[in-house]
Amino acid sequence: MGRAGLLIVDMQNDFIPGSYPGASLTVPGAESCVAGINAIRIAFKDAGGVIAHTQDSHPADHCSFYDNHHGAEMFSIRSIPSPDGGKMDQVMWPRHCVKGSRGHEFHDHLVVETSDLIQPKGRDPAVDSYSGFFDNLKGRSTGLADRLQAQGVTHLFVVGVAYDFCAGSSAIDGASCGFKTYIIENLTASVGADTAAAMKEKLAEAGVVPIAAADVQTYLRDVGAHDVAPIGPTKKDSIDHSGLARRYSSTSPNFASY
């Protein structure tokens, strides 16, 4: 008999439209995921599951911030020194989720309990970390896999933002760590249609199973044979990633390879 884990990825103010006036890297539709995530976590708790969050926790001198690189343009891709002495391509993001800032905090309406696992990521100024499990070079583990395994988690369900970057990367790495991994597509939101399509292919290749929130009860019963309470209504009953408006300008690069 297994145990389910709900991994809530980066539901932080800087990524969620309307969270506060200075939100710097908002993902379209992220705000409408909050109520659905709050509703679905009740089912996981009732099923004896584990609730975990990833939290982007960047230092002010982080390598991904465009304004830390002289002459860099926001959303461009720049070759920068990597920790192993070579070079790596890095998207030049706006400053976001700086530890201790308002943007670093979880959204005000997101339910976070003291029993939840909180996994910071992106703390190394020299390398980015989309995934909650590893940095982008796969050179260092965050320890999340060990923490989940210590709680007996065997099946991992991923929600949050962004589908095409951090949520998708976390799902792929969760599968690589041996968890049977699902991504609840209508409780995610994407930066853009092109990157979402590319991530969908990568998720399929990794064996990550796409499901909808309405199907979660069935999967939870399969995991642990627990009685599962009904899940409340969500604000996002479906999502068509291909129809999402591109978040950034037409001059922004194609991030499909990331």
- Inside any domain, residue 173: yes
Helices 34-46, 216-224: axis angle to 10 degrees equals 30
- Inside any domain, residue 229: yes
The total number of structural domains that make up the chain: 1
- Inside any domain, residue 78: no
Residue 72 class from Cβ within 10 Å (0-12 exposed, 13-18 middle, 19+ buried)?
middle
- Please give the pLDDT value at position 84: 86
Amino acid at 181: T
Catalytic one among 10, 135, 164, 173?
10
How far does Cα 91 stand from its chain's mean position?
A: 17
Residue 162 domain boundaries: 4-59+95-243
The CB-side HSE value for 94 (13 A sphere, CA atoms) comes to 11
- Inside any domain, residue 250: no
Give CA separation, 184 vs 20, 25, 94, 125, 157, in Å: 26, 22, 27, 31, 7
Q: Which residues of the chain have pLDDT under 70?
A: 225-258
Scored b (16 or more CB within 10 A) or e, 186-205 reads bbbbbbbbbbbebbbeebee
- Inside any domain, residue 155: yes
- Please give the pLDDT value at position 240: 32
Catalytic one among 33, 63, 121, 236?
121
Catalytic one among 63, 97, 166, 180?
166
Which CATH number covers residue 142?
A: 3.40.50.850
- Please give the pLDDT value at position 222: 86
From CA 8, how far away is CA 212, in angstroms rounded? 15
- Please give the pLDDT value at position 227: 38
- Please give the pLDDT value at position 166: 98
User: What is the CB neighbour count within 10 angstroms for residue 248?
Assistant: 13
Amino acid at 92: M
166 is catalytic: yes
**What 3-state class would DSSP assign to 83?**
coil
Tens digit of each residue's pLDDT (9 = 90 or more) over 58-102: 999 999 999 999 999 999 999 999 998 899 999 999 999 999 999
- Inside any domain, residue 209: yes
- Inside any domain, residue 36: yes
